[in-house]
């Protein structure tokens, strides 16, 4: 077992940990994360526009009559989240290169906007279609944001900039330093979109169809679930590693579902946005460790596990489980690693199947991750009471799976405590 763990750590976990620290992946991750306040706040207007109440209630009738006005904040936030993500990626990538981050963010936004061709509408003039500023445009946003900042970096490193005397204020000087890179990016994107007539969004959409389809399948759900708990088993933040790659896909699913709800669609297109993982699979945090905490509170006999259970109970309810992972510890623990990996795989299968057959509504709301799971699941599904039952079922299953392994570990801890007392 020891040699196998050493092999996995050297050949798999360490290379993947280095990949997670890769500059561009970090910029994408931080750029998406920076847009979360807009996604969370904007998504709650979907609940207001489509309240989880009987249709005969006055609140529901009022919301139906005023849905277009209620959804305006949603359309200015979550619906165009690619615009916010572009700035976030550009800012963070430029900052990592130690070039002006504000200019990096602005160049990325300009690059994204230049991938969209305005239309002329009578009485309004030029109108910019918003469809590619949401989930549909996220992949293009990542590509052009990175490209534009790389052009900015190359120009800066090779002194292809306009330098002003030192007496000029720094803010003015930085603006002129970005002048040539901005010109290059604008001309490049104009050449691609206007002169060559290439619709980057349509092109990328065709290329990513297999990826989107695979990620929304049961297999596509199980792979990140396994990898996240696998990396945590070595003390590596699994969500940071896997999420930096998978989160753009998860956000695309979430936004597509939100758009479907806003348009009045009866069925939502995607099963596997990130809230599916958050509320139905990772109950209490990665590894579904709230079940483990419940087992500790009820069945632990050793002083250490009893005390630890009481200490970590409240954070676990709010999905903070680092104290459990490092306190037991689960990291490199051959006894507890097994249920830590198995439990979310089983809850993932149940959650996916329950959603795919219509027992529970797909998620389309980005509820704050620190909410207790039943509340978060209820909000994420737009008020589907069946989601609460699914959470409780998966929680009960996690308790059953963790119980025998915790008892084995508890006996070991109890024996150690008794030896120390003698």
Q: Are residues 163 and 296 in the same domain?
A: no
- Show the domain range for 313: 217-421
Q: Are residues 260 and 188 in the same domain?
A: no
Q: Are residues 102 and 239 in the same domain?
A: no
Q: Are residues 194 and 229 in the same domain?
A: no
Q: Are residues 249 and 396 in the same domain?
A: yes
Q: Are residues 193 and 232 in the same domain?
A: no
Tell me what pLDDT residue 222 has: 92
**17 lies in some domain:** no
Q: Are residues 228 and 309 in the same domain?
A: yes
**13 lies in some domain:** no
Q: Are residues 237 and 336 in the same domain?
A: yes
Q: Is the pTM of this model over 0.85?
A: no
Tell me what pLDDT residue 14 has: 61
Domains in the chain, number? 2
292, 406 in Cβ contact below 8 A?
yes
Q: Are residues 286 and 153 in the same domain?
A: no
Residues of the chain with pLDDT under 50: 1
Tell me what pLDDT residue 293 has: 94
End position of a domain, from candidates 144, 169, 200: 200
Cα distance between residue 415 and residue 162, in whole Å: 72
Q: Are residues 287 and 410 in the same domain?
A: yes
**250 lies in some domain:** yes
Tell me what pLDDT residue 1 has: 47
End position of a domain, from candidates 200, 235, 251: 200
Q: Are residues 238 and 269 in the same domain?
A: yes
Q: Are residues 49 and 81 in the same domain?
A: yes
**16 lies in some domain:** no
**350 lies in some domain:** yes
End position of a domain, from candidates 165, 200, 235: 200
Distances (CA, A) of 227 to 101, 126, 322: 32, 47, 17
- Residue 319 gets the label, from left (phi > 0), alpha (psi -120 to 50) or beta, of left
**12 lies in some domain:** no
Tell me what pLDDT residue 381 has: 92
**383 lies in some domain:** yes
**9 lies in some domain:** no
């Amino acid at each position: 077992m020891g040699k196998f763990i050493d092999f996995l750590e050297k050949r798999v976990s360490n290379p993947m940990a280095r990949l997670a620290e890769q500059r561009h992946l970090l910029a994408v991750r931080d750029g998406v994360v920076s847009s979360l306040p807009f996604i969370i706040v904007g998504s709650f207007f979907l609940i207001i526009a489509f309240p989880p109440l009987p249709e005969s209630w006055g609140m529901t009738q009022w919301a139906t009559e005023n849905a277009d006005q209620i959804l305006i904040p949603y359309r200015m936030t979550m619906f165009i989240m690619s615009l916010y993500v572009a700035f976030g990626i550009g800012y963070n990538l430029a900052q990592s290169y130690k070039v002006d981050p504000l200019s990096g963010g602005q160049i990325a936004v300009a690059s994204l906007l230049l991938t969209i061709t305005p239309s002329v509408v009578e009485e309004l003039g030029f109108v910019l279609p918003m469809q590619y500023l949401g989930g549909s445009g996220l992949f293009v946003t990542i590509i052009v944001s990175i490209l534009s900042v790389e052009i900015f970096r190359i120009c800066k490193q090779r002194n292809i900039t306009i330098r002003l005397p030192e007496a000029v204020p720094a803010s003015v000087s930085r603006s002129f330093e970005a002048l040539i890179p901005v010109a290059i990016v604008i001309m490049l994107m104009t050449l691609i979109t206007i002169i060559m007539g290439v619709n980057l969004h349509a092109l990328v959409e065709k290329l990513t169809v297999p990826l989107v389809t695979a990620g929304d399948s049961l297999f596509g759900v199980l792979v990140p679930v396994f990898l996240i708990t696998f990396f945590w088993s070595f003390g590596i933040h699994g969500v940071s590693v896997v999420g930096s790659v998978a989160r753009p896909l998860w956000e695309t699913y979430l936004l597509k579902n939100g758009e479907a709800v806003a348009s009045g669609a009866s069925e939502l297109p995607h099963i596997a946005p990130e809230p599916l993982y958050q509320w139905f699979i990772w109950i209490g945090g990665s590894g579904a460790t709230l079940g483990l905490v419940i087992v500790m509170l009820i069945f632990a006999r050793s002083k250490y596990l009893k005390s630890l259970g009481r200490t970590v109970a409240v954070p676990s309810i709010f999905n903070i489980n680092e104290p459990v992972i490092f306190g037991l510890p689960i990291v490199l623990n051959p006894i507890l690693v097994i249920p830590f990996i198995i439990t979310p795989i089983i809850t993932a299968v149940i959650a996916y199947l329950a959603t795919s057959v219509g027992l529970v509504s797909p998620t389309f709301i980005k509820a704050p991750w620190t909410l207790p799971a039943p509340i978060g699941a209820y909000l994420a599904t737009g008020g589907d009471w069946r989601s609460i039952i699914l959470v409780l079922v998966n929680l009960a299953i996690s308790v059953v799976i963790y119980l025998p392994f915790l008892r084995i570990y508890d006996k070991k801890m109890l024996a150690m405590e008794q030896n120390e007392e003698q």
